[in-house]
Amino acid sequence: MLSDYELIGILAIFALALPILAIVGGSILGPRKPNRIKTDVYECGMESYGPTWVQFKVQYYIFALVFLVFDIEMVLLFPFAAAFKILPLYAVIEAAIFILILAAALVYAWKKQALEWF
Amino acid sequence: MDSFHIADLFGSIAQIWNEWLGGFLATEWVNIVNKAVGALLVTAVPVVIVVFTILGERKIIGRFQDRLGPNRVGPFGIFQTIPDVVKLLTKEIITPAHVDKLLYNIAPLLSVSSVILIWAVMPFAKNIIGVDLDVGALYFVAVSSFGTLAILLAGWSSNNKYALVAAFRVVAQLVSYEVPMVLALLVPVMLAGTLKMNGIVEAQAGEVWYVVLAPVSMLIFFISSTAEVGRSPFDLLEADSEIVAGYNIEYSGMKFAMFFLGEWIHAFTICGLTATLFLGGWHGPFVDQVPLLGPIYFLIKMFVVYFIHIWIRTTMPRIRIDHLLDLNWKFLVPLSLVNLIVMMFVIKLVGDSVAKTSVLLISNVLMFVGTFMILGEVGRQARQREESMRQAEPVTAGVQG
Amino acid sequence: MIYAVFVLFVLMILGGGIGVVTSRNIIRAAAALILSLFGVAGLYVLLEAGFMAAVQILVYIGAIAILIIFTVMMTQRATDPTRLMFNTQWQWSLAVAVVFLLLLVYTLNLVWPFTTSAETVASTGDVTFELGRALMDPEGFVLPFEVASILLLGAMVGALAVARERHDDEEE
């Protein structure tokens, strides 16, 4: 079991080395002449003024929150799906209750208009 | 040395390699060298395939739009990608002022490596797989979920308002579409009874492909994985006409190329996953006698699914962000929950009887029919509401409309 | 060989932890937290609990870390460097913390003595399969399983009650 992950460890090293090599190669081969205009912030050709701070819409946070709840639900359903073949019928009913309670959570979010973008 | 079978090409090559190495190295070292070579191959395979895929996609899109694709470099333009790579290598890497240097540089690395790590569990043949992890299906979901983090870091560290806004929208999209993707993924896992990718393929080899047993799941997985990658019609990530280049505005040269590369590789990686989970992976006729056919079948299926992705890309317009999220949370997630519950009960009740295939197929068809009826009902009510609103205020409707 | 990997992961966890506490830039602190969480996932891999490692990456790094970064960006002008988090009495608090740590280690050693050999759990192969069976068993963990779903429902309702936007057509 543990030896499976050796390949993943080595692969992680190679997978990080590939972009590093590519970027190093790019910085060697490319010209390097920074000037003030090139390194300025991009704002469709205008000078940027004001700090880089955007009015953060709380909707982004709400979507991440709803996703988190469903993420944990998914994680708890994975072992159930893996053991599904040998589980008897009442296990299916238990899992159905689990899913229905979380569907109720989704319906709550929907009714309270938390899933609108605007 | 046993005789060299051309039918079992990769097996024979592996045997010759192992014997040659065993001649001068001890066994653990042979193991480590094998693992290193395996990791190198797993890194190289997607990079090699992407070279052909980029070209193929450009030519196919060209044909859809009634023009030839690139055809200058080499016969039929097959070497087009090489000048592109050379161009990107020799561009100046401009690092804007005031960026957070550490995070700015880490983001493309994380983005590419998260995609390459998925290829460790992609089954090419019965014995050709990086590593048959016993949590294979969960592993690829976990690894693609830290690609979204890389995008967030890229957007924030670029010190640019557009990049930040784009990064937020992208993360909201990617994170939302993971839910129906995983819920649809659970159905093949249930049918196969294991999370191992090779186990899922072998279970399909034993019975019929899961596209017949669970077409609703395949459709949900197809749609949500298209959105996960950020391809059209969900390509708000890099909508050139809307938010410039999205989160990679401030990246140039090879760093931009890394994001670009990561996105292309991810595009056909999920095609490979769709082929593995639903279309039977490397399974096909005569694959037991001639194991060489395994990777060939897998690549064919992967490219068929990829072609369908390209087809959809050139045909459909881009979806707006609020429609995108509505589509996910109000249609795909409830549908996938209902699908999961229905499939759970049906599979358990049918068991292993002879009528299994037809019962599952009929229940999926009933789900399709039910979905369309509900959608039709919702559409009809929306139209009726609009009609009544328009009739209630005939004068102002003209002014506002 | 395994010790080297273990030390690497421990360094990731501790380094990430120190980075969270001492970093001036709050997004760097969040990135250090992510490094620390990767280290924990690595430790799960060393314990041969691949499922837990994947869950750690999926839930902690893929959801909770993103949520934390969103929260940080939402409540703060993120380009302002914050003050250094130390106050003037940090030497005393460091000494007290070390004494407390030693006290805890000593007390725990009295109850569960340290050993150098781990107990081997009787693993019958596929971990996730066994976990699934245990989760659904009526004499197993099915009640915590259902309670977990009610807990998640409560968490969603509570968080939405606090955080959502109130629209004009709702009576509160």
- Interchain proximity A83–C131, CB inside 8 Å: yes
Q: What is the pLDDT of residue C123?
A: 63
- Interchain proximity C58–B100, CB inside 8 Å: no
Whole-angstrom Cα distance, residue C60 to residue C66?
9
A64 chain-C contacts, CB cut-off 8 A: 63, 66-67, 70
Q: What is the pLDDT of residue B240?
A: 53
B195 chain-C contacts, CB cut-off 8 A: 128
Tell me the shortest Cα–Cα distance from A59 to chain C, in angstroms.
Answer: 8
* Residues B367/B216, Cβ–Cβ less than 8 Å: yes
Q: Which of A64, A97, A102 sits opposite C66 (nearest CB)?
A: A64
* Residues A78/B138, Cβ–Cβ less than 8 Å: yes
Q: What is the pLDDT of residue B245?
A: 60
Residue C50 pLDDT greater than 70, yes or no: yes
- pLDDT grade for A118, boundaries at 50, 70 and 90: low
Whole-angstrom Cα distance, residue C31 to residue B64?
44
- Interchain proximity A71–B337, CB inside 8 Å: no
Concatenated DSSP letters of B110-161: HHHHHHHGGGGG-BSSSS-BS---TTHHHHHHHHHHHHHHHHHHHHHHTT-H
Q: Which residue is closest to C130 within chain B, CA to CA?
A: B194
Residue C76 pLDDT greater than 80, yes or no: no
Tell me the shortest Cα–Cα distance from A31 to chain B, in angstroms.
Answer: 5
Q: What is the pLDDT of residue A39?
A: 66
Report the alpha-carbon angle B115-B118-B119, nearest 5.
105
Q: What is the pLDDT of residue A1?
A: 61
- Interchain proximity C156–A91, CB inside 8 Å: no
- Which among C89, C101, C83, C78 is positioned nearest to C22, based on CA atoms? C83
**Highest mean pLDDT range out of A46-50, A109-113, B317-321?**
A109-113
- pLDDT grade for C11, boundaries at 50, 70 and 90: very high
What are the backbone angles phi and psi of residue B123, rounded to the nearest 5°? -85, 120
Q: What is the pLDDT of residue A67?
A: 92
With an 8 Å Cβ cutoff, is A28 touching chain B? Answer: no
- Interchain proximity A68–C64, CB inside 8 Å: yes
C12-17 long-range Cβ contacts below 8 angstroms, 24+ apart? C12/C36, C12/C38, C12/C39, C12/C42, C13/C39, C13/C40, C13/C43
Q: What is the pLDDT of residue A69?
A: 92
A vs B: CB pairs below 8 A:
214
Q: What is the pLDDT of residue B1?
A: 42
Residue type, B221: F
- Interchain proximity B253–A20, CB inside 8 Å: no
Residue B245 DSSP one-character state? B
Q: Which of A75, A83, A108 sits opposite C59 (nearest CB)?
A: A75
Q: What is the pLDDT of residue B401?
A: 46
Rg (CA), chain B: 24
B152 chain-C contacts, CB cut-off 8 A: 66, 69
B252, HSE (Cβ side, Cα atoms, 13 Å): 16
Cβ-count burial of C141 within 10 angstroms (0-12 exposed, 13-18 middle, 19+ buried)? Answer: middle
* Residues B332/A106, Cβ–Cβ less than 8 Å: no
Integer CA distances (angstroms), B379 to B374, B375, B376, B384, C39, in order: 9, 6, 5, 9, 50
How much is the average pLDDT of C18-33?
Answer: 85
Q: What is the pLDDT of residue B17?
A: 78
Tell me the shortest Cα–Cα distance from B202 to chain C, in angstroms.
Answer: 17
How much is the average pLDDT of C67-74?
Answer: 83
C78 chain-B contacts, CB cut-off 8 A: 156
The token pair at C65 is 């870390």
Task: Compute CA A104 distance to the chain's CA centroid, rounded to the nearest angstrom.
Answer: 24
Task: Compute CA C60 distance to the chain's CA centroid, rounded to the nearest angstrom.
Answer: 7
- Interchain proximity A29–B89, CB inside 8 Å: yes
Give the three-state DSSP class for B243: strand
Whole-angstrom Cα distance, residue A51 to residue B35?
49
Tell me: the pLDDT tens digits for A70-98? Answer: 999 999 999 999 888 888 888 899 999 99
**Highest mean pLDDT range out of A13-17, A41-45, B101-105, C9-13?**
C9-13
- Interchain proximity C136–A2, CB inside 8 Å: no
A vs C: CB pairs below 8 A:
139
A56 chain-C contacts, CB cut-off 8 A: 70, 73-74
Give the three-state DSSP class for C114: coil
The token pair at A24 is 């190093």
- pLDDT grade for A68, boundaries at 50, 70 and 90: very high
- Interchain proximity B156–C73, CB inside 8 Å: yes
Q: For each of chain B's 401 residues, which pLDDT tens digit applies?
A: 455 666 667 777 777 777 777 777 777 777 788 888 888 888 888 888 888 888 888 888 888 888 877 777 777 777 777 888 888 887 777 777 777 778 888 888 888 999 999 988 888 887 777 777 888 889 989 988 888 888 888 888 877 777 777 788 888 888 899 999 999 999 999 988 888 888 888 888 877 888 888 899 999 999 998 888 877 667 666 655 455 566 767 777 788 888 888 888 998 899 999 998 898 888 888 777 777 788 888 999 999 999 999 888 888 888 888 888 888 898 999 999 999 999 999 888 887 767 778 888 888 888 888 888 888 888 888 888 888 888 876 655 555 54
Output the CA torsion C148→C154→C157→C161 (10° steps). Answer: -140
- pLDDT grade for C168, boundaries at 50, 70 and 90: low
Residue C170 pLDDT greater than 80, yes or no: no
What share of chain C in percent tops pLDDT 90?
33
Cβ-count burial of B248 within 10 angstroms (0-12 exposed, 13-18 middle, 19+ buried)? Answer: buried
The token pair at B73 is 């470099």
* Residues C65/C37, Cβ–Cβ less than 8 Å: yes
- Interchain proximity B175–A15, CB inside 8 Å: no
Residue C35 pLDDT greater than 90, yes or no: yes
* B227 CB-near residues (< 8 Å, 6+ apart): B173, B174, B177, B234, B324, B328
Integer CA distances (angstroms), B153 to A58, B93, B119, in order: 19, 19, 24
Cis status, amide bond into B317, omega within 30 of 0: no
Residue located via tokens 């839930």: C59
- Interchain proximity B165–A54, CB inside 8 Å: yes
